[in-house]
Structure 1
Amino acid sequence: MNHFFRLVRRIIILFLVLCTLSVAGILYYMEFELPDIDALNTVQLQVPLQIFSHDGKLIATFGEKRRIPIPYDQIPKPLIEAVLATEDQRYFQHSGVDIQGLGRAALALILTGRKLQGGSTITMQVARSFYLTRHKTFGRKLREILLAIKIEHRLTKEKILELYLNKVFLGNRAYGVGAAAEVYYGKHLNQLTLDQYAMLAGLPKAPSTLNPIANPQAAQKRRDHVLWRMRDQGYISEEEYSSATQAPLNASYHDLQTEIKAPYVAELVREQLEQMYGDSIYTDGFKVYSTIDSQLQVAANQSVREQLLAYDQRHGYRGPMENLGTPSIENMEEWEQALRKKPVINSLEPAAVVEMTKQTVTVLRSNGELTTLSWPGLSWARRQINADYLGPKPRSASQILKLGDVVLINPSPNGYQLAQIPKAEAGLVALNPRNGAILAMTGGFDYQYSKFNRITSAQRQPGSSFKPFVYSAALEKGFTLATVINDAPIIIENTADNSLWRPQNDTHKFYGPTRLRTAIIESRNLVSIRLLALMGMSYTVDYLKRFGFIPSQLPPGLSLALGTAMVTPLQMAQAYAVFANGGLKVVPFAIDTIRNSQDEVIYQAKPLVACNNDCSPSEAAAPRVLSSENTFLISSALHDVIQRGTAKQAKNLGRNDLAGKTGTTQNQVDAWFAGYNPDLVAISWVGFDQPQSLHEYGSTAALPMWMQFMQSALKGKPENIPSQPPGIISIRIDPKTGKRISANSASGMFEFFMEPYLPESDLISDTSQTGENTDEDADGNTDENTDADVVPGPDNNNTSDSNHAPETSSDPQNEMSLY
């Protein structure tokens, strides 16, 4: 008997030793072999990139996973109760492992032979989602249990639940309850109702198949089960349960709700960020604040959209998209489905004609509603016969459409109008000339329709909007705004192939001796060409680099004077900013601040600032590339372009601090307006992606777009008229000769001059003038002057290149110069 007791005692001791060793082994494994749990305190959830305007309005989100991390104290209590009732009702009592739950799972396995239940607590699910795979094995379950115990010893219950609710996948790319609230209901999490919280709480079991979009019936059944559990455990009353189960699902897919429409800006910022930080930008929770002013961006979007639609209407109606046949009550549902498959492009909505009267059309929309278009919304639709001709004005709706036609309709303050997607494209960019910040950018009619950004990527000829840079070079070389150059025919000879180029003014007239100010105001081509020839190509090309242009963009011939360079609208904005800020070169930029997921600033833009020797210690001064006197003279001439030149329509803005220049290229392929005041530079462009004639000048196609934008952008802001630099002197001159006359003379006009380049005196003109001449009538029409100068071109300059200038031709249309 003693021997037996000794044997039992030894067995017990051995068992205790083995248990101790096992526990020690497990503790060692948990401490050194399992992952470091402390990292969960600072875990970086995969959060998409967010891009905002400068004033904090959301522009775009980039990333595969939609996640909005929410702290525990901001998670609504009903949602927490719904999750606990469904997923882990003893969560706040156990230490990471629920023995009862594991027992139920083990019993189910014994009875059925299948792993029907996992017995996992919320803590175990956190362990699995952060550190383990979803493969159901006994080894993974053991690691899950050990990790859960370790997590419970290191983190609070609230922190664990916060991790779970922000990490869990809830279907349709939604990770975490914050993102799920927006995906399914389009609301912030704290705006949901009890039945909606129950819906979200039921999703973790099978997010792809139980969500209300994929399977509404199963989702409602799961929601009601969650509500039943909440009532059973005392979280809600019988009345709350009954009311919530009767509530409709009201769930549908909600895309990201942006506050400002600026997709071209968002893509530009995304590309720059990817170059800076790589692919991590899509998951690291970066918040990027751009330079965009939300109000100016809205104004840019509206001006491009409305003016491009107006241009398109001026050139006729091209007809319906398709015809669905004869309408009837039986096929209305089929028509609605067909309409829903067609995209809405920049608020242009597809609709089908179901009824017509003499001057009204009733259309079916994709939502099943019927809308009537009145005659003012239809009467513009003259049929487009070809690019040059339109049909007669319609007198009835039947001359425009027929039953079954699928058309686009455009919402307007006066009701819906018939519309069509413009074939032409347009863009507008606005800069702050003080530091180069891009304040607004619209790169096309609609980003969904075409993602090509014409502001940053379209290399187009600027036409006469390029001339101010050539005239600036002339002023630097000693010419003045009073210098007289003959506006007479020129024949330019290309010695390489003996071809001839005969540039003309857009009026096909010649105006004789012309002062440079008048040449700028009236956009005289022959004067510009002669001026460039007098300065020399080498000097001019070198000078143009001051504005940011590179020699490879500049043609090596005299056609450069007419704007045959290949530039982007953003480059033009940068160049015009030099005039606007008084001669300093700033660099356009779109990213102001970048913050990481901890809301720490990791990047702050430090642009060059046009501060004219008054920079603060934190500002870097932009380099001076032009004298303030030079920019004052150019701005004075461009101010006159608006007051009485090719852009005098802009006088309707009622401001005296605006300057700018129209631009139209050969055969009216590109239309531009570049304009500014000291606070804002804006460039508008209109053209076809595949170059063809617009059949309109810059003053009719691009200027109205610029005007609409500037009217909104400058509303309520005081005029900012630049002061006259000390090196500028005003002198009375003879408007015909450009020479100085007596200050007391009754004739003549005043002109500005840089101090080193004062005009010569003209005593003969001073005594012979009997009446005051004005700038407008100083230059007579000298069509009778047909003696053309022949200017040989350099051997390596093919001036008959169609990209630069027209070949000689007897057809006046082919000889129309760049305007």
Structure 2
Amino acid sequence: MTEKARNRLLSLFWLGLAGAAAAAMGFASIYLYLKPGLPSVESLRDIRLQTPLRVYSRDMKLIGEFGEKRRNPITIEQTPELFVKAVLAAEDAGFYSHNGVSIKGLMRAASQLLQTGSIQSGGSTLTMQVARNFFLSREQRFVRKFNEILLSLQIEQELGKDQILELYINKIFLGNRAYGFQAAAHVYYGRDINDLNLAQWAMMAGLPKAPSTYNPIANPTRALVRRNWILKRMLELGYIDQDEYKNSITAPVTASYHGRDLDLNAPYIAEMARKEAVELFGDSAYTDGYQIITTVDSKLQDAARKALQHGLETYDARHGYRGPEQRLDAELLADSDQLVDLLNEIPVLGGLEPAVVTAVEPRQLQVQLRDRRVVEIPWENGLESIRPYISEDARGARLKSAEEMFAPGDVVRLRRVEVTAEENTGTGEELVEGEAPSPDPFAGPGEEAAPVEEPQVREEWHLAQVPEAQGALVSLAPEDGAIRALVGGYDFRQSHFNRVTQAARQPGSNFKPFIYASAIEKGYTAASVINDAPIIFEETNLQDVWRPENDSGRFLGPIRLREALYRSRNLVSIRLLQALGIDYALGFVERFGFERSKLARNLTIALGSSALTPLEVARGYAAFANGGYRVEPYLVDKVLDVNGETVYQALPLTVCHNCPEAGSEQQPREPVDLADLQMEAGAMEPSEEPVELRTLPVGPLDQAGEQARPRAPRALSAQTTYIMDSILKDVIKKGTGRKALVMKRGDIAGKTGTTNGPRDAWFSGYSPYLATSTWVGFDSNGELGKREYGGSAALPIWIDFMSTALEGLPERHLPQPDDIVTVRINPRTGLRTSRGGMFEIFRTDRVPGRGTYSSYQPVYSNDSGDTPPDEQPDEPLPEELF
């Protein structure tokens, strides 16, 4: 080599060295300048991915999901290996060999920038994408790129490759609110990532590059090109063989949008749980992946929703058809697209679909559905029974022709009905759901019956309408107040107002059992006789003269307490409260959990004039169901964090029948000689104050292994509870709740309630398994109709729900406590008798004196099943507020 060449080479060497030194100094300067502003990589170890709040039933059915980002974090061990390879083939094949930065990738990006004058790709590794997604923005600036490189180098030093990859798999945005591949698998395919195939994995691996451009739903053609390129890369890298490649590259695009499917329709429950979660955890409830496990039973919740909707629709049908919801211009009928858009803006309520009438014939309607189908509504599918609504008390005559009410452009509601019929029967009869076909009657001895073909199912559409009346249903577990089912209205999409917890309405006679319980606790018996006769009050706090009446306008004269309650006699309730004293009664009613401040301080509280929510009333009835203990309703049983660890556990007041009740014995009362009681109850003055509640110390439960809970305090004695339970069972056997006899159970009890108008209809009742309250009324406080009562509007809903809830459960009854005896009495005087008469139950210290049975002739006999002439046996006995 010549001297000249040697000098040239040396110059180039020093020039290169100087350039490298300058580059190093420049890089070091940039590092020193940017380093103070970089976040700590150590925080990635404890990073909390934004995971939505999820609400579940007690049997882990999903009820609701709240949060802007849908995410289902998974570990690297839970991620399919072949899917990981698809991601590496698409994004960073050298991930496991580089130190966080790919020089080759950066040089390629720089070359593209010099050639085109714009940024074509960032040359980012998976580590660099993790740095950007967790700490940086997506703005295309060189400073951000330098930060990304520096952070990537630090991340590689702090974390292992699998840890970095796991962060990437759970963090990356993949379109349609999905963050992370597990969430994306549910959004695009409706399944876990482990349940997808190679073609689908490759399709999802193509999303990170541009979720909108390569979205298989929005851009299936471009997404398919990207998928096939990834499959080819996997083949070239040796991740898959030729057969796997051929099978996957010909696979069709199967992605479609899968919104988060809820397992249970319980939006009122979901909203209550959401509010409680925010109270517990603040705004982080929406992002930290909490799982709320409620006390709700999915079977009971579904039954409650169906019962309430059916009950409101049945009530609504009794009062006539109000006509189409709206009428559209005729021009709209010619524009199919606009018509479909309009129908899709109308929510489906209670399962009732909106539709537009397109043609009307005398005995038939033709309507278009939201999915563009045109179906026919024959006369027998809801048209023949239409009677126009005039008022809550009047309907018009039945339609003679559909043209009298309908015209093209009318928006109506339809109910979809599946009709199942046997093939080749020639009868066209419907099969009852769950009923097996009859065996072949022509099969001889030892011969197999001819195979029965599966019955065909056809779809029918029936005319319907969305009820204007609203309702509520809540059901509690009596032993601890756990909410097993709750429906706050006809449909949450119609109104978010939760009538179980927010609607304070007058309960009417539904409140009477608490007044009667206070009387029995004080010294009255089920055989005490009170006069059912007119009474007039002139009191300043009632502002005017008050003449309370019974609904029928008739009075039965002297009547026993038991009969007065199951017949819901208003005048007896008022006289009873007058005798007890308002202060005593208010103090006693507080023991059921009612707030004194919400109760009126006058005699109208005997008739349920104080506004209460269905949840408050159900809590009160739970005491009759559980043996006399006060419980507090609760919804959230426990809360799990994102790792499945319990961070909250409810400890409700719980009834423990087998636990000793230390200090709970009441002071003995002096026996009351009921023979000396006068017919006019006002002669009895209150002689004692109610016993204050005592929260008993924590003790073991009778359920082995369950965590000890606070003991539920007594609301009333076991003896009073047993007597009240007997009377409330008579409400169903003989009184205003007789419709519930259809359930053929002896362990159910309850009370109807109806307020003036009537405006509110109630039925609250229980078995030892559940305490349930139902209410029907208008949000506007309008009248339900003169022929509507608790027994006609609310009780059928209670029956439908409780029939399902108690199905298959054996009858259970409260155990008879000590100091209870059964005595034969004169049914007219309530006094003991040695022959004839009827049996009544008493506390041993309150057995009445003897009377003479032959000294009177009863107007009617309760034991014979006869009823007084002014009341019909097949109709619920009415009751009214005042």
Instruction: State if a TM-score over 0.5 links the two structures.
Output: yes
1:379: which partner in 2?
384
Among 635, 643, 664, the alignment partner of 2:754 is 664
Matched, 1:392 2:482: no
Change (3 A) 1:29 1:92: farther
2:426: which partner in 1?
none
**In structure 2, distance between residues paired with 1:176 and 1:400:** 54
2:679: which partner in 1?
none
1:757: which partner in 2?
846
Change (3 A) 1:782 1:75: closer
Greater shift after overlay, 227-236 or 692-701?
A: 227-236
How far off is 1:218 after superposition?
4.6
1:314: which partner in 2?
318
Instruction: Summarize the alignment of residues 591-602 of structure 1 with structure 2, pairs less than 5 Å apart.
Output: 591-602=636-647
- After superposition, the C-alpha distances for 1:196-231 in whole angstroms (9 at most, x for unaligned) are 433322222232454345555554554455455445
**In structure 2, distance between residues paired with 1:405 and 1:379:** 18
Instruction: Summarize the alignment of residues 223-242 of structure 1 with structure 2, pairs less than 5 Å apart.
Output: 223-227=227-231, 229-230=233-234, 233=237, 235=239
- After superposition, the C-alpha distances for 1:54-87 in whole angstroms (9 at most, x for unaligned) are 1111111111111111222333345333322222
RMSD: 3.3
Matched, 1:89 2:93: yes
Q: Contact (CA 8 Å) 1:613, 1:621: kept in 2 or not?
A: no
Matched, 1:410 2:415: yes
**In structure 2, distance between residues paired with 1:203 and 1:17:** 41
Secondary structure, counterpart of 2:121 in structure 1: coil
Secondary structure, counterpart of 2:501 in structure 1: helix
Matched, 1:725 2:817: yes
How far off is 1:740 after superposition?
1.1
Give, as a single letter, the amino acid of the residue that structure 2 aligns with 1:530: R
**In structure 2, distance between residues paired with 1:328 and 1:9:** 82
Change (3 A) 1:49 1:698: same
How far off is 1:604 after superposition?
1.1
Secondary structure, counterpart of 2:412 in structure 1: strand
How far off is 1:345 after superposition?
1.9
How far off is 1:181 after superposition?
2.1
**In structure 2, distance between residues paired with 1:331 and 1:501:** 63
Matched, 1:401 2:406: yes
How far off is 1:7 after superposition?
13
**In structure 2, distance between residues paired with 1:676 and 1:416:** 37
Among 463, 473, 489, the alignment partner of 2:534 is 489
**In structure 2, distance between residues paired with 1:189 and 1:608:** 43
How far off is 1:755 after superposition?
2.1
Change (3 A) 1:13 1:335: closer
Matched, 1:818 2:822: no
**In structure 1, distance between residues paired with 2:232 and 2:494:** 48
How far off is 1:252 after superposition?
4.1
Matched, 1:774 2:862: yes
Identity %: 45
How far off is 1:562 after superposition?
0.6
Matched, 1:571 2:616: yes
Give, as a single letter, the amino acid of the residue that structure 1 aligns with 2:552: T
1:109: which partner in 2?
113
Instruction: Summarize the alignment of residues 186-585 of structure 1 with structure 2, pairs less than 5 Å apart.
Output: 186-215=190-219, 218-227=222-231, 229-230=233-234, 233=237, 235=239, 249-324=253-328, 331-374=335-378, 375-414=380-419, 415-495=460-540, 499-585=544-630
**In structure 1, distance between residues paired with 2:235 and 2:384:** 63
* Runs of 5+ unmatched residues, structure 2: 420-459, 660-698, 702-707, 872-877
How far off is 1:361 after superposition?
2.9
**In structure 2, distance between residues paired with 1:161 and 1:203:** 16
Give, as a single letter, the amino acid of the residue that structure 2 aligns with 1:756: D
With structure 2 as the length reference, what TM-score do the two structures score? 0.82
Matched, 1:736 2:828: yes
**In structure 2, distance between residues paired with 1:161 and 1:366:** 45
Give, as a single letter, the amino acid of the residue that structure 2 aligns with 1:412: V
Instruction: Summarize the alignment of residues 603-622 of structure 1 with structure 2, pairs less than 5 Å apart.
Output: 603-614=648-659, 615-616=699-700, 618-622=708-712
Give, as a single letter, the amino acid of the residue that structure 2 aligns with 1:716: G
How far off is 1:687 after superposition?
0.7
2:142: which partner in 1?
138
Change (3 A) 1:816 1:682: closer
1:624: which partner in 2?
714
- After superposition, the C-alpha distances for 1:621-664 in whole angstroms (9 at most, x for unaligned) are 11112100111111110000001100011011010000000001
Q: Contact (CA 8 Å) 2:828, 2:858: kept in 1 or not?
A: no
- After superposition, the C-alpha distances for 1:723-744 in whole angstroms (9 at most, x for unaligned) are 22112111111111111111xx
**In structure 1, distance between residues paired with 2:17 and 2:145:** 30
1:652: which partner in 2?
742
Instruction: Summarize the alignment of residues 633-644 of structure 1 with structure 2, pairs less than 5 Å apart.
Output: 633-644=723-734
How far off is 1:25 after superposition?
9.0
Give, as a single letter, the amino acid of the residue that structure 1 aligns with 2:83: L
How far off is 1:242 after superposition?
6.7
Change (3 A) 1:11 1:402: closer
Change (3 A) 1:234 1:370: farther
Change (3 A) 1:12 1:405: closer
Give, as a single letter, the amino acid of the residue that structure 1 aligns with 2:477: N
Q: Contact (CA 8 Å) 2:762, 2:773: kept in 1 or not?
A: yes
Change (3 A) 1:816 1:57: closer
How far off is 1:338 after superposition?
2.7
Change (3 A) 1:777 1:263: closer
How far off is 1:464 after superposition?
0.4
Secondary structure, counterpart of 2:391 in structure 1: coil
Q: Contact (CA 8 Å) 1:749, 1:773: kept in 2 or not?
A: no
**In structure 2, distance between residues paired with 1:381 and 1:78:** 62
Secondary structure, counterpart of 1:608 in structure 2: coil
Greater shift after overlay, 593-602 or 343-352?
A: 343-352
Change (3 A) 1:406 1:496: closer
Secondary structure, counterpart of 2:715 in structure 1: coil
Q: Contact (CA 8 Å) 1:584, 1:624: kept in 2 or not?
A: yes
Q: How many residues align?
A: 782
Give, as a single letter, the amino acid of the residue that structure 2 aligns with 1:713: A
Q: Contact (CA 8 Å) 1:51, 1:289: kept in 2 or not?
A: yes
Q: Contact (CA 8 Å) 1:482, 1:738: kept in 2 or not?
A: yes
1:714: which partner in 2?
806
**In structure 1, distance between residues paired with 2:24 and 2:325:** 81
Change (3 A) 1:497 1:170: closer
- After superposition, the C-alpha distances for 1:466-498 in whole angstroms (9 at most, x for unaligned) are 000000111122111111111111122134687
How far off is 1:103 after superposition?
0.7
**In structure 1, distance between residues paired with 2:762 and 2:636:** 27
Secondary structure, counterpart of 1:457 in structure 2: coil
* Runs of 5+ unmatched residues, structure 1: 784-814
How far off is 1:772 after superposition?
9.9
Give, as a single letter, the amino acid of the residue that structure 2 aligns with 1:610: V
Change (3 A) 1:111 1:378: same
Give, as a single letter, the amino acid of the residue that structure 2 aligns with 1:755: T
**In structure 1, distance between residues paired with 2:48 and 2:30:** 29
2:175: which partner in 1?
171
- After superposition, the C-alpha distances for 1:223-262 in whole angstroms (9 at most, x for unaligned) are 4554554455555667766765665545443322110111
Change (3 A) 1:495 1:29: closer
Q: Contact (CA 8 Å) 2:833, 2:850: kept in 1 or not?
A: yes
How far off is 1:709 after superposition?
0.3
Greater shift after overlay, 173-182 or 465-474?
A: 173-182
How far off is 1:310 after superposition?
1.1
Change (3 A) 1:395 1:195: farther
How far off is 1:96 after superposition?
1.6
Matched, 1:128 2:191: no
1:788: which partner in 2?
none
